[in-house]
Amino acid sequence: MQHKSKRSRAMALPNSEFRTRATEYLDFLAAWVKKPRQTASVVPSSRYLARLMVAHIDPEDGRVIELGGGTGVFTRAILGTGLPPDKLEVVEINPAFARGLRRHFPHVSVLETPAQIVSTATAGEAGEYQTVISGLPLLAMDRQMHADILSESFRMLRPGGAFIQFTYSMRPPVSREILDALGLEVVRAGQTVRNFPPATVFRFFRKGE
């Protein structure tokens, strides 16, 4: 009965959506096999996690940067908020993922630039962005990388802007020492068990904002 139920749910999906999810899974699995620490999971993030990640985006409130675009799960959700494609820039250093993103989102700018120097490649200026959506595997990175990525992201964010990050831990992926050094605060923005593995979303922002 359980097998039949799963097959029924799959058949209920529109053919195009089913093909998209299947392609995303295969692409993600291939990337994980090649670079497991860089990819961090064997499956793409779920649409439930994606909704939490983009919940604070205002489609009429300026530019957005996505770090670690992967197969485009968050990219699709960001555009689903109504944000114009020319207001979104997606950073993805994996060449295969970058090609896939350009194919699926031809009107979105895809930057094959490291997150810690993203300002060298963006169309917008420092201080113009409302949100940074991060799919980067911060738990697999060292503290210096955390500091560099957050410092660069908040250079791009305007006053009141937020850095949104998910993790498979219940605790923030960045240490209090780094947050204090950068003048940042963090709060839990939500969590979902409808993701594999279950995930928690954190919102980082400047102290006093």
Does the domain formed by 2-206 have CATH 3.40.190.10? no
For the chain, give every domain's residue range.
2-206
* Assessment of whether the complete model's pTM goes beyond 0.85: no
Residue 124, pLDDT score: 96
Residue 3, pLDDT score: 45
- pLDDT exceeds cutoff 60 at 190: yes
Residue 115, pLDDT score: 96
CA atoms within 13 A on the CB side of 173: 27
Band of the pLDDT at 195, cuts 50, 70, 90?
confident
Backbone angles phi, psi at 161, to 5 degrees: -75, 160
> What is the mean predicted confidence (pLDDT) over 126-145?
95
> What is the mean predicted confidence (pLDDT) over 180-208?
94
Residue 13, pLDDT score: 44
Instruction: Give the whole-angstrom CA distance, residue 203 versus residue 148.
Output: 17
Residue 186, pLDDT score: 98
- Cβ atoms 173, 146 nearer than 8 A: yes
How much is the mean pLDDT over the chain?
86
- pLDDT exceeds cutoff 70 at 205: yes
- pLDDT exceeds cutoff 80 at 23: no
Task: Give the pLDDT confidence of 27-82 residue by residue, as tens digits.
Answer: 545 554 455 444 444 456 788 999 999 999 999 999 999 999 998 999 999 999 99
